[in-house]
Each structure stands twice: as C-alpha cells, then as structure tokens.
Amino acid sequence: MIRRFESVQKRANSLFVFIAIIGAALAGFIYTNATHIQDDSRTLVEVQLPALDDLQVIDSELTELERILYEYYATQNRRLYNEDYTQTLSRLESAIYQFKPATPDKQLLLVLELNLADIVAMSKSLDVNLNGPTNWDLAREQMAEISTKRRNILPVLNQAKTLINEYVEQGYLEANTNLDIAIYVVAAYSLFITLLIFAFARYVRKYIMLGFMNERLALFAKRNPNPIISIDYDLTISYQNPATDILLTELKLSSALELLSGSLSRQLKSARENTANHPYQSKVKGRTFSYLINWLDDIQAFDIHLTEVTAEKEAQLQLEYIAYHHDISELYNGVKFQADLSELTSRQKHFWLMLIELPDYGDVMADYGLTGASDMVFHVARELKSVFELSKQTLSLNSNIYHVADASFAIIFNTAHHQNNLLDKVSYELSQHFKQAIKTANGKQLIPLKIGITEYPNVAKNESELMLQAKIALDNATEQARPIRYYSTELGDKHARLVQLNNQLKTAIEKNQLALYYQPQFSLTQDQFNGAEALIRWKTETGFISPAEFIPIAENSGMILELGHWIIKTAFTQVAIWQDSMEPGSRIAVNISPRQFIQPGFVNEIRAMLEQTGARAHRIELEITEGTIMENETYGVDVLNQLKALGLAIAIDDFGTGYSSLSYLRHFPVDKLKIDQSFIKSLERNKADQAIVLTLCQLGKNVNLKVIAEGVESREQLALLRGFDCDEIQGYFYSKPLTVEEFEYFIAQSYV
C-alpha cells in the first residue's frame, strides 16, 4: 500500500512537476503575449490616440490661421497679423512638432510642412502688400492661394488620420491574435486541468478585451477638444466629456442641451430613422456650432459631436458680402445684379430696368487719375443711394440699386407696367439732384448722368434683349438736352443699322467696295488748280454710304486703323502715278484720324509707305485736326517734326472749331490752316461767321501759314474769301469730289 502510495505519490509528483512545468511554460508564454499586448496598448494610448488629437489641433489651427488672414485682408488691422496670426502659427507649429513622433508616413509630414511653409511665405507677401500701396487684385490672389494651400493640407491630414486609424486597427488585431493564441493554449491546458480553468480563461479574455476597449473609448472622448454628448431618446444626458463642461462654463449655460438646436427632437428622430448623417447648426450667444448626431443601436443612445464654426461662418458671411457688393460703393455689384436679373426673367416677373452712366468718368480719370475717379464714383454712389432710398420710401417702390461697372449703375423696379410715371419721377429726381455740384475729394464737381430705361417682358423678351435695349437707350441719351431715354423701336432700328454697317465695313476692303475720290483745290492767289483732297467713298450693293455715317463707326470699333492704312496706301500709290505730271507746288491732301496719329509706329508707317509706293513726300499733305495734336501737345509736336523731316506738308484740319490759338500755332511745324466748312456754309448771310473767317485768315497770315476754306459753294462766298485774303478754296463751286478718271480729265481741262 505504502509502495503503491509512494508510486501514486511519485506519479502525482511527476504529474505535478509535469503540470507545473507546463504551467510555467504556459505562464511564460502567456506572460510574453501579455507583454506584447501591453506594448501594443501603450502605443495606441500614448502615441496613436494623442496623434489623432494633434491632427485635430492642426486642422483647427489651420482654419483659425486662414480666418485671421481673411480678417486681416478685410480690415488691414496689422495687429491681427503681428499678434493673433503669430500666436496661432506658434500653436500650429507646436502641434506639428508633437505629431512628428507618431507620424505614420514621413512623406505626409514633409507635404504638410511644405504647404505650411508656402502659407507662411504667402502670408508674409500678403502682409507686405497690405502695408504698402495695396494691390487688391494681388491680395485676392494671395488669399486664394492661401486657401488653396490650406485645402491641400486637408487631404494630408485625412490621410494621416486614416493611417493612424489603420495602425490602431492593426494593433487591435495583433492584440486579438496574441490573445487568441494564449486562450487556445490555456484552453488546451484546461482540458486536462478543469473546466473551471477554461471558463476562467474565457472570462479573462472577455475582461481584457472589454477593459482595453473601454480604456480606448474613454480616453478618446476625454481627450477630444470638441464637446461630445451622449443622450437617451428622452433627452436625458448620460455622458458629456470635459470639453463640454469647459464650454458650458465659458458660455454660462446649465445644460449641454442648450448648445443644440431647438429642433433637437426632430433631428434625433431623423438620425434614428435615416442612415445618412448630415451636420446641423446651432447659434448660442453669438457663437455658431456644427454637430453630427449618431444613433448607437446597441446601447440605445445618441452620440453628438460638436464643433465650433463661428470663425468659419463669419468668414463665409464676409466672403458672401464681398462677392455681392462693390468694393468702392458697397452697393450690390454686377454679380448680384446678374443673379437677380436671371431670377426675375426666369420667373417672368414684370419689371423696369434703368441703367445709369457717368459720361465724365474718363475725363476725371485723365485729370485726377484712378484714385480721383474712384473717389468721384464713391460720392456719386452715395448721392444716388440717398436719392434712391428717399424715392423708394416716398413712392413705395420695390426696387434695388446696383453698381455694375466702374462708372455704371443699374436700378431694377419691380412695378406694374402702367407705373412708368413712377420711373419718370425717380429719373427726374436723379437728374435734378445731379444738376448741382456734389462734394468730392477734389472739391465740388458738377457730374452729369445719362439714363437709359427699358421694360420686361412687354418690350424686352429675354435677358439679353433687356440689357441690349437698356444700353441702346443709354447710348442715345445726351448729357444736356435729353439725359433720360426710354428704349423705342426707332432707337432699336438705329442700333441695328449701326451693327449692320459695322459688320459690312469689316469686309468692305476685301470686297473692293471702297474708293478714293479727289476734290480739287483752287489757289486764289495764282488763279489755278493747286491740289486736291483724297476723300473716301463706300459703295455697297444698295448704294453709297455717307462717310459721316461710317467713319464714326470705324473709329468706335477700332477699324479706323485698318481703314486709315488703306487710305494712305491707296492715296500714296495714286500720287506716285500723278506726281511727274502735277504742277509745281500742288499736293494731294490725305486726312489722318486721331487714332492713327497717336499710334507709336505712325511715322514709321508713313516712311515705309513712301518707300513702298515711290510717292514723293513733297507731293503729299497730311491733314490733322488741332484737337488731335493738343490732346498731348509734347508728343504731337514731336510727331509733326518727324513728319516734316520726311518732307511732308502738314495742314490743320477743321481749323476754328477747336483751340485756334496763336500761341500754339507759333511753335507747331505746320504749313496750312483749313477753315471748317461750318463757317463757310452761311458766310454771305451771317456777319458773325464773316468776322470769324476774317479773323482766322488774319491769324494764318500773322504766323506765315496758308489758309484754305472748304465747303465753298457760291460766287458770293468766293468774293468774300478773296476780300479776306484767303489763299485757297475747296468746294462744289470749284468742283465736286471726282473719281480717278474724272479727276484726271478735270486736270487735263484745267491746263488747256
């Protein structure tokens, strides 16, 4: 028995030793796995989860940085840059520094740092721009670049968050794997120990898993800088994190529910019934919050995550204001005007459109520069607004005023079609108000207005017609005689005629429709032919178009340069043919438009054309209006000297209608003065015209210049001009403008 006991004891001891060895090995194995699990958990808790907090801080501080820069751009308060911006940038860099050890991808960190460096550099450039002579176009581009760089960082932050979450998930899986292995070994060991140990092992596994998850979740909510609230369906708060407590204290609120919208019950119902999750907003004591509601079915509760978006909301409102208001007048701008116009026309709402223009804007800019012109526009806008608001109240008008361009305004009147009398009253009030000088930075100025009005849909049928008709009415308004014009069919037909001629004129040269006619000139001192003026004529399929009609079109469209080049080339070519048979001293006169004269390469063009055609310079006379020269006297005199150096003669065209000053004639290198035909038309009957023409003839003699009178049509006019000692005449009394063949025949007959 003893021997058997000893044997059993020996086997028991062996079994005990065996079990102890297995238990020790199992314990060692479990200990090793537990160490790995502990290390993984510590990495998650101490590194990865704080890294998520750091990413949130980086995101928040980037948003704050952009908001400060937008406010700085809007107010030019440099304290925002020197203090708020610097402090925010310091916090941002600190958050990035703390995030570095946990960075899952160094390339992402490099992209983040490079974009931040670009933002810092662009912010410095913006600061320099805003504290010098501010280039607002550049400032807007700089702000747009800063916003772009910040948006470039957002995907980097999101990618980093994704990688960290992947690392967290990977650590979680590794912990599960190690734990599962330990459990399986413990389970195998438990098979030959007891079922209790197996049950205990299962309990340990669940306990460890639950503890790990609870610790992770608790730390996430506790460390989150944004408020997190958990509530039941009956609006009972079951949890709120420290950030919520801090915010409630700051706002002096008693319940976290006060941070949410008054429609919370409806929002909770929607969150429970719909899987789609979208943000809501609430406004509490002047601060705006955005929040997401998540329904957790397993615990029958709602998790609500709040984020303050006050700065973003204010920036958005500021951007919307900037987008829809003019930066000078602060009235609604062209963008808002276009949006309102499109809305009204799409709804087929009746309204009147009034366009207002400042015709003197270009002159003010020339005299006072862009700053002076902008100041004038600012004061005009202020006066317009005051008259408009007063009329709006007294007449009960439903209308808006817009600043649609530099010197253009618009008013939309949402009135019935029979209420055009109200528009008459408003238009009259505006025109009367601006008949008196208004105060500006350059002193009191008399600023005329032009007003064009049309109606929708009774007159204009769509938006494009509406704008065209209003512009046509505006263009046909005159500053003094008729500053207010309503669109009419007559004005529309006139505009259509101009458009038609403009289109036809573009191909007139190609179609060979243009020709030069030559009107002979007669010398009163020598009693003989003395030259001719080249006059352009345009003959279409329907007949001749008057130069008085198409020359202004060419000047306004810019085609006058191409037309002028054709005239010079054609006239010079003809001179080269005639020059050997022309009488000594006779010349062909060619009109030069103001646009041609001020072109930088004009003299070179004349020189090249002389060389190309072979025309001799002394056979050509260029006619230039005195106003063209006087617009830039120094430049004009320089060009005239260069033309004289080529051997050309110079005549002042339309003399008497402009400056007609002896002081400038003395130093202008000109040869002839051409008295405008408006003074000759009634010369035999009008004593005032006789006095003017006599004075002009004497003025020419005083400065040793020849004088020619154009538009001479009667013997009486000729007699008076002889008596005034006028040198030459041109007009129907001597000859009408002639074709090349007619002109050659006329000259041949003159010398018979």
Mean pLDDT confidence for 147-167? 79
Nearest to 412 by CA among 451, 355, 328, 459: 355
Q: What pLDDT sits at residue 37? A: 63
Residue 2's pLDDT band (cuts 50, 70, 90): very low
Distance CA 112, CA 110 (A): 5
Residue 680's pLDDT band (cuts 50, 70, 90): very high
How much is the mean pLDDT over the chain? 83
Question: What is the helix (H) or strand (E) element at residue 230, kind and residue range?
Answer: strand 228-231
Mean pLDDT confidence for 453-470? 90
Q: What pLDDT sits at residue 602? A: 94
Vertex 50 angle, CA 49 and 52, to 5° = 65
In the predicted structure, residue 282 carries a pLDDT above the cut 80: yes
Report the 3 state secondary structure along 362-373: HHHHHHHHHHHH
Distance CA 609, CA 172 (A): 88
Q: Token pair for residue 219? A: 């730390």
In the predicted structure, residue 36 carries a pLDDT above the cut 80: no
Mean pLDDT confidence for 60-79? 81
Amino acid in the structure at residue 83:
E
Mean pLDDT confidence for 162-168? 76
Greater confidence, 80 or 195? 80
Mean pLDDT confidence for 530-547? 92
User: Strand pairing of 351-357 and 399-405?
Assistant: unpaired
Residue 201's pLDDT band (cuts 50, 70, 90): low
In the predicted structure, residue 546 carries a pLDDT above the cut 80: yes
In the predicted structure, residue 159 carries a pLDDT above the cut 80: no
φ, ψ of residue 325 in degrees (nearest 5) = -130, 145
Q: Above pLDDT 70, what percent of the chain? A: 86
What is each CA distance from 141 to 123, 136, 310, 620, 664, in whole angstroms? Answer: 12, 8, 24, 53, 48
Whether 55 and 229 have beta carbons less than 8 Å apart is answered as no
Q: What is the CATH number of domain 11-222?
A: 1.20.120.1730
716-751 pLDDT tens trace:
999 999 999 999 999 999 999 999 999 999 988 876
Q: What pLDDT sits at residue 293? A: 86
In the predicted structure, residue 686 carries a pLDDT above the cut 50: yes
Q: What pLDDT sits at residue 123? A: 83
- What is the C-alpha radius of gyration for the chain, rounded to an integer number of angstroms? 45
| 628-652: b (≥16 Cβ within 10 Å) or e | bbeeeeeebeebbebbbeeebbbbb
Q: What pLDDT sits at residue 54? A: 76
Distance CA 49, CA 42 (A): 10
Whether 74 and 148 have beta carbons less than 8 Å apart is answered as no
Which ranges in the chain are annotated with CATH 3.30.70.270? 329-487
Mean pLDDT confidence for 408-413? 91
| Highest mean predicted confidence (pLDDT) among 36-50, 205-219, 450-464, 562-576 | 562-576
Greater confidence, 559 or 257? 559
Residue 8's pLDDT band (cuts 50, 70, 90): very low
CATH-assigned architecture of domain 329-487: 2-Layer Sandwich (3.30)
φ, ψ of residue 291 in degrees (nearest 5) = -145, 150
Q: What pLDDT sits at residue 355? A: 94
Distance CA 156, CA 379 (A): 49
Q: What pLDDT sits at residue 111? A: 77
The CATH number corresponding to 226-315 among 3.40.640.10, 3.40.50.720, 3.30.310.160, 3.30.450.20 equals 3.30.450.20
Distance CA 715, CA 728 (A): 14
Greater confidence, 749 or 614? 614
Q: Token pair for residue 540? A: 């279409």
Residue 690's pLDDT band (cuts 50, 70, 90): very high
Which ranges in the chain are annotated with CATH 3.20.20.450? 501-750
Residue 5's pLDDT band (cuts 50, 70, 90): very low
Mean pLDDT confidence for 313-337? 86
Whether 448 and 356 have beta carbons less than 8 Å apart is answered as no
In the predicted structure, residue 207 carries a pLDDT above the cut 70: no
Residue 10's pLDDT band (cuts 50, 70, 90): low
Interaxial angle between packed helices 463-475 and 489-506, expressed in degrees from 0 to 180 and rounded to the nearest 10: 90
In the predicted structure, residue 9 carries a pLDDT above the cut 70: no
Greater confidence, 714 or 179? 714
Q: What pLDDT sits at residue 751? A: 63
Question: What is the helix (H) or strand (E) element at residue 499, kind and residue range?
Answer: helix 489-506
In the predicted structure, residue 3 carries a pLDDT above the cut 60: no
Q: Token pair for residue 193? A: 């120990």
Residue 659's pLDDT band (cuts 50, 70, 90): low
Residue 670's pLDDT band (cuts 50, 70, 90): very high
Statement: 501-750 belongs to CATH 3.90.45.10: no
Q: What pLDDT sits at residue 288? A: 86
Distance CA 532, CA 588 (A): 5
Q: What pLDDT sits at residue 481? A: 65
Distance CA 559, CA 553 (A): 8
Q: What pLDDT sits at residue 308? A: 81
Q: What pLDDT sits at residue 18? A: 65
Mean pLDDT confidence for 657-670? 70
Which ranges in the chain are annotated with CATH 1.20.120.1730? 11-222
Whether 322 and 335 have beta carbons less than 8 Å apart is answered as no
Q: What pLDDT sits at residue 555? A: 87
Distance CA 127, CA 73 (A): 9
Mean pLDDT confidence for 607-623? 96
